[in-house]
Amino acid sequence: DAMVIQNPRYQVTQFGKPVTLSCSQTLNHNVMYWYQQKSSQAPKLLFHYYDKDFNNEADTPDNFQSRRPNTSFCFLDIRSPGLGDAAMYLCATSIDQERIQYFGAGTRLSVL
Amino acid sequence: DAKTTQPTSMDCAEGRAANLPCNHSTISGNEYVYWYRQIHSQGPQYIIHGLKNNETNEMASLIITEDRKSSTLILPHATLRDTAVYYCIVRVNSNSGYALNFGKGTSLLVTP
C-alpha cells in the first residue's frame, strides 16, 4: 500500500549529538511536512517543503533543519539536541495545499 | 482559522454510536470542517471533512448545523480500536498556509 514511512520508530541520542530522522513516501505527493509533538500536546508544524521550496515556520528554532533530496525522501536534522527536543516527530504529505495530510507513524526521540 | 472547542474527554460503549461535538462559532463562509484522529503512539489519521452539507464515508458521518457554528462527528458502531484523540480543525481549503492547527481534541475511550 502507498504510505508514509518513518525510520526509525524510536531514536535515542545524547545531549548535543546531532541526529537525523528520515521519512519516505510512495504517494508521490509534492508537499512534505515535519511536525513536532511533545507529550500530551497537539502536533506543531516545524516546516514543510513545497516541491523543492523549503518553508520554515516563524517560531521553529534554528537547531532544526531539513533536507529533501528528491520527491520521495525528506530528512529532519537536529544539530544539537537538547532535553527539550525529546518528542514525537511526525512526517506528513499532501497534494499542494489540500487539507488532507497523510501522516507517518512517527519517530519518538529521546535525549539523554 | 476559526477557533474550535471540543470536550476534553468522552466515553462510549463498544457497539454504540459515538457522537463527538465541536463548536466553531466564528467559522467563516469559506472554511471547511476537518476531523482527524490520533491513536496512541501513531500519527494522525484523516477521517472526514465538509463545508455545509452532511458527509458520510466508510469511517464516519459528519453533521454540520445549518448555521455552521457547530458540527458532530459520528462513529456509528464504535469499536475498541476507535479509542483515540479526535481533532476538529476548521480551515479554508487553499492559499492560507499549510499547518494543521490541531487544538486540544477530544480523548475518546471506547469501553467493552
Question: In 3D, which of B8, B84, B70, B17 has the Cα closest to residue A103?
Answer: B84
Average pLDDT of span B9-17:
97
Q: Which residues of B touch A106 (CB under 8 A)?
A: 41-43
What local confidence, expressed as pLDDT, does residue A81 receive? 96
Question: In 3D, which of A106, A101, A44, A111 has the Cα closest to residue A78?
Answer: A111
Q: Which residues of B touch A104 (CB under 8 A)?
A: 43
Confidence class for position B1, pLDDT limits 50, 70, 90: low
**Which residue on chain A is closest to B99 by alpha carbon?**
A45
Residue pairs spanning A and B at CB distance below 8 A: 61
What local confidence, expressed as pLDDT, does residue A2 receive? 62
Mutate to test the interface with B, among A5, A57, A101 (most CBs of B within 10 A): A101
What local confidence, expressed as pLDDT, does residue B94 receive? 55
What local confidence, expressed as pLDDT, does residue A88 receive? 97
**Which residue on chain B is closest to A4 by alpha carbon?**
B43
Calculate what percentage of chain A has a pLDDT beyond 70: 96
Q: Which residues of B touch A96 (CB under 8 A)?
A: 94
Check pLDDT > 90 for residue A98: no
Provide the mean pLDDT of chain A.
Answer: 93
Check pLDDT > 90 for residue A109: yes
DSSP annotation of B90 reads E
Average pLDDT of span A72-91:
97
Residues of chain B that touch chain A, judged by Cβ-Cβ distance less than 8 Å: 32, 34, 41-46, 49, 87, 89, 91, 93-96, 98-105
Nearest neighbour of A99 by CB, restricted to B32, B43, B105: B32
Average pLDDT of span A9-15:
95
Q: Widest CA span of chain A, in angstroms?
A: 38
Residues of chain A that touch chain B, judged by Cβ-Cβ distance less than 8 Å: 4, 6, 31, 33, 42-45, 48, 50, 55, 57, 88, 90-92, 94, 96-106, 108
E strands, B2-105, where?
9-13, 18-23, 31-38, 45-50, 55-56, 61-64, 70-75, 84-92
Q: Whole-angstrom Cα distance, residue B43 to residue B34?
A: 16
- Is B87 in Cβ contact with A42 (below 8 Å)? yes
Check pLDDT > 90 for residue B2: no
